[in-house]
A and B are shown apart, each in its own frame.
Chain A
Amino acid sequence: MSSKYRSPAMDRRSFVKIISSALGSLMAAVVGLPAIQYFISPSLGKEEEDEWISLGPLENYPLDTPTQFNFSLNKVNGWEKSSHSYGVFVLREEGKGVVVYSDVCTHLSCRLNWIPEEEEYLCPCHAARFDKHGNLISGPPPRPMDRFETKLDEGQLFIHLKEG
């Protein structure tokens, strides 16, 4: 190459190196950044559940003993429509109104069972025990059983289901 084409600042080799790495990084970013979004976008979507669920007439629930109620909701995750089942315990007490507890253990989300003979909830997973009012008696859970916001509408009991 004749010297009149030579740059005093940079030789051909370093120029090509810089251009190739710049273009290479650009192309990597054009695919790489969208790829990150692509991978995490369903994790960030807000599929919030915010609904009032009817549990039927309040009189149906006996006094002083937790009574189980199950319902299911349809959910769409990606291409899959599936139904999720929920369980709650309704406790009606004379003079104190009604409290609805979630059957999801506050430790690691196993489903609690009410044991009538012992007047306690028992978790099948790590043997946590809660009393009738959801207070922790023993075991690893960090807090009492979760409660739902409730309302009464023409004698019907409703709970506020909020998730997400």
Chain B
Amino acid sequence: MAQNVYDWLDERLGLQAIYDAILDREVPKVNWWFTLGSASLFLGLMQGITGILLSVYYVPTPDHAYDSITYIMTGVKFGWLILGIHHWGASLLILTAFIHMLRVFFYGAYKYPREVTWITGVMLLIGALGMGFTGYLLPWNQRSYWATTVGTEIAGSVPGIGNIILRILRGGTDLSALTLSRFFSLHIWIFPAILLAVVLTHLYLVIRLGISNIPDEDS
């Protein structure tokens, strides 16, 4: 029965071909360092799932943001777990993506024909850092408030255009309700939308070009 349903769908959707391309592709003999891209992908998915769950209770306004986070931590069943995974996963993702980048660098895996894979990778790292920067403000506690004050001030120290960058980041001269709501929008819509597109491109290229060999003395 299940086999029949699967065959019917496969004939129309080409499921087997998708499965073969993604999971059954040829890879050279590799080592554990080659798992870090998949580890980053997994952590990224977890950030997405736990982030969606957090949005059930979180409110991005100065008078409720802090209280809603406190409520998630103490009032909702398993709120501590969901927020905990999101909190620690954020740092871990940066770490795995960074070590993944080092692996690619030291094995020379960024060379022809994988330059675009590298460039999209750089975009992913910058995007992930952007997620961290915007997410840090959302709890609206003393630490996030001052971290964002300093962070936007640093961006404001660019010669010439610093002031306009600072105003664009903050939505005005002060850190305010406007800053919180634009950081929220960046954190849950704008960065994730961009990151999704770039991750898909990155993975498409990994599949299209195949994984590089571990370089040996001849190569």
Contact = CB atoms under 8 A, between A and B. Distances in A.
Interface of A: 31, 34-35, 37-39, 41-42, 78-80
Contact of A79 (B67, B77, B82): B67
B56 A79 contact: no
Contacts of A42: 75-76
A41 B53 CA distance: 13
Interface in B81-96: 81-82, 85
Interface string B19-57: 000000000000000000000000000100110010011
B190 to A, nearest CB: 25
Contacts of B78: 34-35, 37-38, 41
Q: Interface majority SS on B: helix, strand, loop or mixed?
A: helix
A34 to B, nearest CB: 4
B43 to A, nearest CB: 12
Given A31-B46, A38-B77, A41-B76, A78 B57 contact: yes
B46 A38 contact: no
Nearest to B65: A79
B82 A38 contact: yes
A24 B64 CA distance: 37
Contacts of A41: 76-78
Contacts of B163: none
Given A38-B56, A78-B57, 13 more contacts: A31-B46, A34-B77, A34-B78, A34-B82, A35-B53, A35-B78, A37-B77, A38-B82, A41-B76, A41-B78, A42-B76, A79-B70, A79-B71
Contacts of A35: 49, 53, 78, 82
B104 interface: no
Contacts of B77: 34, 37-38, 41
